[in-house]
Amino acid sequence: MTTNKLQQTLKALRIPFQESTKCLNINCPFCVGKSSGRRDDKFRCGIFPNVLRYYCFRCHRKGSFYDILSTLLGYTRSEYARTVDKAPDLQDKDVLDIIRENLHGVPTVKAKKADKIELPPSRGVTPELVGDQPLLRQFLVDRGISLRTCSDYMVRYTGVAGQHAQRLIIPIYDDNQNLVAWQGRDVSSKAKLKYFTNGPIMDYLYWTVSVEPPYRIYLVEGAIDCWRMGHNAVTCFSKQLTRGQRAKLVTDDYIKELVLCWDSDAYNEARGTALDLAPIMRTGVVRLPEGEDPDSLGAKAVRELDIEWLN
Q: What is the pLDDT of residues 11-67, one digit of tens each?
A: 988 899 999 999 999 999 998 877 777 888 899 999 999 999 999 999 999 999 999
Same domain, 181 and 214: no
User: What is the distance between the alpha carbons of residues 271 and 287, in angstroms, rounded to a whole number?
Assistant: 9
Same domain, 197 and 211: no
Q: What is the CATH number of the domain that holds 247?
A: 3.40.1360.10
Q: What is the β-pairing status of strands 179-186 and 156-157?
A: unpaired
Same domain, 171 and 212: no
Q: Pick from 73, 104, 135: which residue ends a domain?
A: 104
Instruction: Show the domain range for 48.
Output: 3-104
Asked, for residue 118, whether it belongs to a domain, the answer is no
Q: What is the pLDDT of residues 110-167, one digit of tens each?
A: 545 567 899 999 999 999 999 999 999 999 999 999 999 999 999 999 999 889 999 9
Same domain, 269 and 300: yes
Asked, for residue 116, whether it belongs to a domain, the answer is no
The tally of domains found in the chain comes to 3
Q: What is the pLDDT of residues 165-198, one digit of tens each?
A: 999 999 999 988 999 999 999 999 999 999 999 9
Same domain, 219 and 285: yes
Asked, for residue 278, whether it belongs to a domain, the answer is yes
What residue ranges in 107-224 does DSSP mark as E strands?
123-124, 156-157, 167-173, 179-186, 195-198, 206-207, 216-220
Asked, for residue 111, whether it belongs to a domain, the answer is no
Q: What is the CATH number of the domain that holds 134?
A: 3.90.980.10
